[in-house]
Amino acid sequence: MAKSIGVTLSERVVAGLIIDHKLAGPLQSFPENHDDEYALVEMHTDAIIQTLCEQILLAAGSHRDITSVGVGLPGMIRNGVVEEAPNLPQLKGARFQDVLSAKLGEHDIDATVYVVNDADGFAAGIAATQGRLDHILRVWTLGVGVGYGRYPFLPGVWEGGHTTVTLDDKENFCGCGGRGHMEGIMGHRSMRLRFLDMEPEEVFEAAAKGDARCLEFKRLWHKALAAGTASSIHLDGPGKFFLAGFNVRFVDLSMLRDYTQRMVKMSPLQSYSIEIVRDDAETRVIGAAVAAEQAAIR
């Protein structure tokens, strides 16, 4: 059976050995202290790649017959180059795939390295762990920003979190600077900018108690998610949508399904479903490895 390594890079680096689409050893992570959330932000690109290499070697252990290494990271990735990485801006322009491949070669790991957007990798992980590798599925990750992942992969930018969902000129909270974006409404950072006097969880708690301002925003938040989902359905067809991330706690599935139903009226497009799924490091690591395995045989 082919041996691969899956790696995710966000607030921390997590790596694992994957055999037959299953984790075959302990997950390795950096930094060890979960409270040190700024460790990677403060590192330069070479140091981050060196850290990835170290965690990959720990995950591989005594194995040197690794066939592929998949890395999932937040940002716009094309041909192994990080074209944009808002959460780790020092990576912008890095030829990540080539540099990491060369680093691993210094340690006798001659493997295909593949870099993928982390949401796409997560989608592949869901497909692998749920036995749906022959299905189309999409995932929204609701966190500091809004990620959009699709499996199987298709060429394109796929920055779904920046889908325009409103024409209101006042909607300018998106971190990219664009107006009317889904992330500008739903992203954790954007919500904190909008409600300077309340944390996002307080906003939704107040909405549950009937506060008019917060209830209006809860509806807007769900309409934005419904609009992004409906746009994806109209462009890419119906299918299974998964929701994950630490802000999935705010999702009211009944409200979301109602708004989405109002937006998708063509009968051939109505065979979609929306489901909340647990977001965990293991699924993401498996997905990054699956992405690399599939890239190696294309």
Span 77-96, pLDDT tens digits? 998 999 988 778 899 999 99
Burial label, 74 (beta-carbon count in 10 A; 0-12, 13-18, 19+): buried
Coil vs helix vs strand at 105? helix
For residues 270 and 137, state if they share a domain.
yes
pLDDT cut 70: percent of the chain above it: 98
Domain that holds residue 225: 132-276
For residues 71 and 28, state if they share a domain.
yes
What are the tens digits of pLDDT across the range 166-207? 999 999 999 889 999 999 999 999 999 999 999 999 999 999
For residues 272 and 287, state if they share a domain.
no
What are the tens digits of pLDDT across the range 256-271? 999 999 999 999 999 9
Strand bridging mode 66-73 / 112-117: parallel
What are the tens digits of pLDDT across the range 196-240? 999 999 999 999 999 999 999 999 999 999 999 999 999 999 999
For residues 31 and 165, state if they share a domain.
no
For residues 272 and 286, state if they share a domain.
no
For residues 154 and 94, state if they share a domain.
no
Q: Tell me how many domains the chain contains.
A: 2
DSSP E strands: which ranges in the chain? 3-9, 13-19, 22-23, 28-30, 66-73, 76-78, 81-84, 112-117, 137-142, 146-151, 240-244, 273-276
For residues 140 and 113, state if they share a domain.
no
For residues 180 and 263, state if they share a domain.
yes
For residues 68 and 115, state if they share a domain.
yes
Distance CA 272, CA 101 (A): 39
Q: What is the pTM of this model?
A: 0.91
For residues 211 and 258, state if they share a domain.
yes
CATH classification of the domain holding 197? 3.30.420.40
